[in-house]
Copies of this chain bind each other. A is one copy, B any other.
């Protein structure tokens, strides 16, 4: 399996473009409207691979002439989450672009506590153990959120802690 973390020097503009293109497709197929604000918020969320707070995003929006208040950003985020284009990272109160838009899935993340990068990983491998335990309790599983915290390879190298 290839690393879920992109190298620090990767060409991020393609990440953004891919995400925006995918969003167009997803929204069309959902008959949902990716309005300029929503599109712009998605783009802002995708300015990097670290989850960003709602008020951070809002601050940027404001500098762009949009006459924005908190509901503006929260509504856009709510929409994007519903469309499966953005995930909320509960432990950080922050939002990050989804890697697998359109595919039905929950968010499973490896979060680097040094650089803040959150790498979304496939959640299928988690479902085995967890659904087994759920079944043992006759628990009807709806969705699973996994937020694993640690240090990414790039940051380990940077701090000389490479194994």
Interface residue ranges, A against B (CB under 8 Å): 1-5, 90-91, 110, 112-113, 119, 121-122, 125-126, 128-130, 132-134, 136-153, 156, 161, 163
Contacts and interface: CB of A to CB of B under 8 A. Distances in A.
B91 A136 contact: no
Contact of A110 (B112, B122, B137): B137
Nearest to A153: B138
Nearest to A131: B148
B148 A134 contact: yes
A154 to B, nearest CB: 9
**Which 10 A-B pairs give the minimum distances between C-beta atoms?**
A138-B153, A125-B129, A90-B90, A3-B137, A142-B150, A90-B91, A144-B148, A1-B136, A141-B150, A140-B151
B150 A148 contact: no
A96 B46 CA distance: 34
Nearest to A125: B129
Contacts of A149: 142-145
Given A133-B121, A145-B148, A112 B90 contact: no
A126 B130 contact: yes
A137 B121 CA distance: 10
Given A139-B5, A144-B146, A133 B156 contact: no
